[in-house]
Amino acid sequence: MFKWKKRVYPLLLSACLLLSGCQGAGNGLAVSETAYENQQADFDTFTENIFVDSVSADTLTLHYTLRHPEDYGITQDTATFGRMTLDETEYAKDTKETRRLLEQLRTYKDDDLNEDQQITYEVLEYYLETALETEGLEYYPEVLEPSIGIQSQYPIILCEYEFNTREDIDTYLALLEDFDDFFQNLADYEKIRSEKGLFMSDAAADAAIEECEDFIRSSEENMLIDVFNEKIQAFEGLTDDERQSYMDRNRSVILDTVIPAYQTLIDTLAGLKGTGTNDLGLCYYDRGKDYYQYLLHSSVGTDKTPEELLDMLDERMQSAFMTMLLIYQQNPGIYEDVENASYRLDDANEILEYMKTAISDRFPEAADANYTTKNVHESLTDSLSPALYLIPQIDDYENNVIYLNLNENYGNELFPTVCHEGYPGHLYQTTWFYSQDVNPLRCALSTTGYSEGWASYVEELSYDYSGMPEDVAQFTAANYALSMCIYAYVDIGIHYIGWDKEQTGEFLSAYFVLDDETLTEIYETILFAPANYLNYCIGSLEIQNLRQTAEETLDDAFDEKAFHRFILDMGPAPFPVIEAHLEDALPAAAE
């Protein structure tokens, strides 16, 4: 079954372009050491104000970003999921505010900021510039994409809502009571998209509906009831009566508010079926190509054109294929060897503990962190991917959770999957960056292409630690790289070039033997989530290209561990920003 691994992010319904209340940055003139210090302090205040406004926009975002929001002076009077903007006048105000923030940001002078501030400046500038590309594209985003939409991600996010105090429990229950209005807002958003000819295809609607139905099918045994009861039973300091009262209240709100909200969404999507104007890729919408390129800039974090990305993919596919061909020429039985190969470990926790120390020869020492592995609830096994890593709170990054979809039959792929999510993948990268005492805004301005690109890049390297014979490990890694590139190529083919299912099948038939059912699954998975797979593949290729630049420049002086430290220290950032800083760092490294 074709599925990819992904991280789960609390959805920021109000991006930074919605923010206001930031104080002026001054005139940017620095004439003394004191002036420098004042300018730097003012910049920190400017960015912290943006951070505070951003994470305060909705309760889930605040809870999953900060364990102690009071340290930032943040309080929330009302628990809310936030809302999608439905008024074009409000969108215009948002755009105006984005321009104001960008102008204010540019009052700071490069020479007045320290190195870390300069990186924050460049990332924020890229973010705001990219946000302006959405003007006229406000209703193109689909928030109910099958597998990665709100309807499938929020149950997991709510299950992991941590109860540290009684106030957390009360806030959580108040938040659930906002579910009906929140989902009605999503339904209204979909109605507007329908009116504008942007509603999803019937096939996508059916997939989203099925995910909603899976979640509410066993209402009395709903995961949000089961998990809540477990957490309340384990919460210390409650009397038996208080525990029962909380469990009764939660059960009531799940049955009377949450499940009916899901049913409202089901009914809305079912009623809107047939109103979609396009069953193919984004490029068939009036400004579909513009929106696709916006996704490349904003989510993937690349400034390359689709044509340039296709060239990158062609080059990497040829390289991977040649690696596999050379191994086959030396070992004609390699396919059978790969089929029969096994990894050194097949337990998730054992893999994490092994990799945490095994990678020390090629990666910096991992930050101190704890982790818990969990299996997803049975109601979500069909709609979620093989594994998910939940981003920890900035001020509590030591505690991490990895979900594994072990009810799916993924055979012999647990080892690389856990490496992708854990060490040296998401958990390792995230806890490393958070442990560096970075500007908190950097943690809020995520670049998915960097994060998924890093995890995919190190997943390819993880085969070196698999315990397989060297040629089997190299062959399997090359096959992984080739497969990623093939699916990324299909993504561009569908959404930018305009391939239909038949054309997609013609391309894939050069690499796979596919039946129609498998072709349909691959085609629809990529069709429903434009540019999502590019976060993994293009992100990985961008990091590989940065590495190649460093290797060619430094030659024998290249240090793999130092390169990895550089990428980790940069943290989630657009690749043009990372590339510029690498070019600045290489001359000194060569000395």
Decide if pLDDT at 407 tops 60: no
Q: How far, CA to CA in Å, does 260 sit from each of 78, 217, 219, 578?
A: 22, 12, 10, 46
pLDDT tens for each residue of 203-225: 999 999 999 999 999 888 899 99
Q: What is the DSSP string of 336-360?
A: HHHHH---S---HHHHHHHHHHHGG
**How many percent of the chain have pLDDT more than 70?**
92
Res. 1 pLDDT band, cuts 50 70 90? very low
Determine the Cα–Cα distance for residues 467 and 350; give it in Å rounded to an integer. 14
Specify the pLDDT at position 32.
55
pLDDT tens for each residue of 332-380: 999 999 999 999 998 999 999 999 999 999 999 999 999 999 887 776 6
Specify the pLDDT at position 30.
40
* 35-49, 165-179, 303-317, range with the lowest pLDDT: 35-49
Determine the Cα–Cα distance for residues 258 and 279; give it in Å rounded to an integer. 31
Determine the Cα–Cα distance for residues 552 and 34; give it in Å rounded to an integer. 42
Quote the pTM value.
Answer: 0.91
Closest CA to 324 of 311, 314, 335: 335
Determine the Cα–Cα distance for residues 203 and 219; give it in Å rounded to an integer. 25
pLDDT tens for each residue of 524-576: 999 999 999 999 999 999 999 999 999 999 999 999 999 999 999 999 999 99
Specify the pLDDT at position 405.
79
Residue 424 preceded by cis peptide, ω within 30: yes
Closest CA to 418 of 476, 376, 356, 474: 356
Provide the β-strand partners of residue 370.
Answer: 399
In degrees rounded to 5, what are phi and psi of residue 399?
-105, 120
Specify the pLDDT at position 218.
86
Decide if pLDDT at 18 tops 70: no
Token pair of 434, please? 């958070």
77 burial (CB, 10 Å; 0-12 / 13-18 / 19+) is exposed
Mean pLDDT across 19-25: 34
Specify the pLDDT at position 383.
61
Specify the pLDDT at position 412.
65
23 burial (CB, 10 Å; 0-12 / 13-18 / 19+) is exposed
